[in-house]
Structure 1
């Protein structure tokens, strides 16, 4: 979706047979990320097909990103709850198809102690999981990190070690989800480690606004990766059975000249935007509760003993009603006269 890369090369796409096979593999693994050997075998198999042999080499990262993107979509769909609002007829409201996530706002203070050590050099630390328990509740915080190799963002599987350099910001050694030890990297904590971006459900398009920083799935000729992007404009469209039909114009941060029109499914919003959904959901509830309750008296008939309805035989007419009717039928002397032919 959107225009092709600026170099004129066609965007990389998996064909139907490849997608079907990857769907089957994901189902076999119960929507968990398959091992590296499985992903590399798929890349080699797809590259050796008649359609791609000698033309396009399918890379491991392209396979990995497809599985990651698909798992995000499945995770978001499992979060659906009943009680939808009509987004099409209420474009400024929210459809609470996802439960409100209890996510901590980004902290400007120091990072957790297990991520930063007071050490002058590299010091191994016990492996820390990529998902940490929040101090305020029992929810888990998941993280993503920006790779220095390609500038893309990947989910963090574990924090392996930490170090403080004499010059510069502290760093952590991370293991990216789905990658092996040879792909481990030292990452700047302050600039390139953050809470994981959230895949957007169809009803959450109202939380994506112009000027927002988002994580966007960019499909190019040789790679399909998640990069930071800024939303330049949003075109709101009526939703249908397929879900959100809105389109967003984004500019990628790693290539300021590259702009693309993308659907909502390619966008992951930042957790800081959760407050918008909470406000819209609260406003929708307030609007629903502000509707006047139906008049109970109008719904409750009077008991037969208290009802007093005069019964008049059909052949008996009230003289006063007849006189009033005759009077109303006579034209008034004060009525304006319409000249002939004025109609």
Structure 2
């Protein structure tokens, strides 16, 4: 995981609601880092909210670390390329391609697959949720050697564009669960599940804990799925329409740099 990623601690200490609030504060501050009193006030405020009930009380150091990570994201030294890129599915052990050449460690007989016609989703660092990708705008190589792509999310404007780590935050799009195929979902399966509150409506990774099978027609699934969200380990009972399935044989996403324009992959 590179230095720009917000998936690891201290993000794990915060709920989605809390991260959205921290993002708002960071924008209001203009990216400036403040003193200990400021972080203490935020830690007390968050720890006293209903969203944080049952969790360990936050320290001001944890809040400070979150803001410092955000600041590093803005100031990290990167190598930005103006060249277009092409996305491929890597069916081998190699994870990154450059100028169309496969990594020397790649086993023979497992070529990459062109992604014409395939759709993708990317995980936003703002809400830790997965969103459909409208287009890949650019790429950059971090000082750690890891690759990031500039993502335009479907249904959002350029103000919401983000840099996303290819290894951890880009994958082939999930597909809505068809009512006639709910029998294929098993306990322990990883799914993309709808998560809603008064402040947001997001799709997050979850694992199926239990399934209460119900008789229903092919039009609407009445089964109840008990899931546990990976982000905060919270559990919820959801219906079939709130579940999206991962591709049965997931493959890593890799990039050939540079090749044809990414715009050719979408109409």
Task: After TM superposition, give the deviation of residue 124 of structure 1 in Å.
Answer: 2.3
Contact between 1:163 and 1:170, CA under 8 Å: does it hold in 2?
yes
For the pair shown, the structure with the greater C-alpha radius of gyration is: 1
Aligned partner of 1:213 in structure 2 is 190
Aligned partner of 2:227 in structure 1 is 250
Closer, same or farther: CA 241–206 of 1 in aligned 2, 3 Å: closer
Aligned partner of 2:154 in structure 1 is 177
Closer, same or farther: CA 200–251 of 1 in aligned 2, 3 Å: same
Task: After TM superposition, give the deviation of residue 240 of structure 1 in Å.
Answer: 3.6
Confirm whether residue 125 of structure 1 aligns to residue 83 of structure 2.
Answer: yes
Q: Which has the higher contact order (CA 8 A, sep 6+)?
A: 2
Residue-pair matches, total = 153
Contact between 1:124 and 1:160, CA under 8 Å: does it hold in 2?
no
* Distance in 1 separating the partners of 2:185 and 2:245: 7
Aligned partner of 2:237 in structure 1 is 261
* Distance in 2 separating the partners of 1:259 and 1:197: 21
* Distance in 2 separating the partners of 1:149 and 1:197: 20
* Distance in 2 separating the partners of 1:246 and 1:271: 21
Unaligned 5+ segments in structure 2 are 1-14, 16-77, 89-111, 251-267
* Distance in 1 separating the partners of 2:139 and 2:248: 26
Secondary structure of 1:126's aligned partner: coil
1:108-119 equivalences in 2 (<5 Å) = none
Task: After TM superposition, give the deviation of residue 148 of structure 1 in Å.
Answer: 0.3
Unaligned 5+ segments in structure 1 are 1-6, 8-119, 275-343
Secondary structure of 1:160's aligned partner: strand
Contact between 1:246 and 1:263, CA under 8 Å: does it hold in 2?
yes
Aligned partner of 1:147 in structure 2 is 124
The more displaced of 234-243 and 153-162 is 234-243
Task: After TM superposition, give the deviation of residue 273 of structure 1 in Å.
Answer: 6.4
Secondary structure of 1:232's aligned partner: strand
* Distance in 2 separating the partners of 1:215 and 1:227: 5
The CA RMSD measured in Å over matched residues stands at 2.9
Closer, same or farther: CA 192–208 of 1 in aligned 2, 3 Å: same
Confirm whether residue 202 of structure 1 aligns to residue 179 of structure 2.
Answer: yes
Q: TM-score, normalised by structure 1?
A: 0.41
Structure richer in strand, relative to its length: 2
Task: After TM superposition, give the deviation of residue 233 of structure 1 in Å.
Answer: 0.8
Structure 1 segments of 4+ aligned residues over 6 angstroms from their partners: 127-130, 135-139
Contact between 1:173 and 1:186, CA under 8 Å: does it hold in 2?
yes
Contact between 2:177 and 2:243, CA under 8 Å: does it hold in 1?
yes
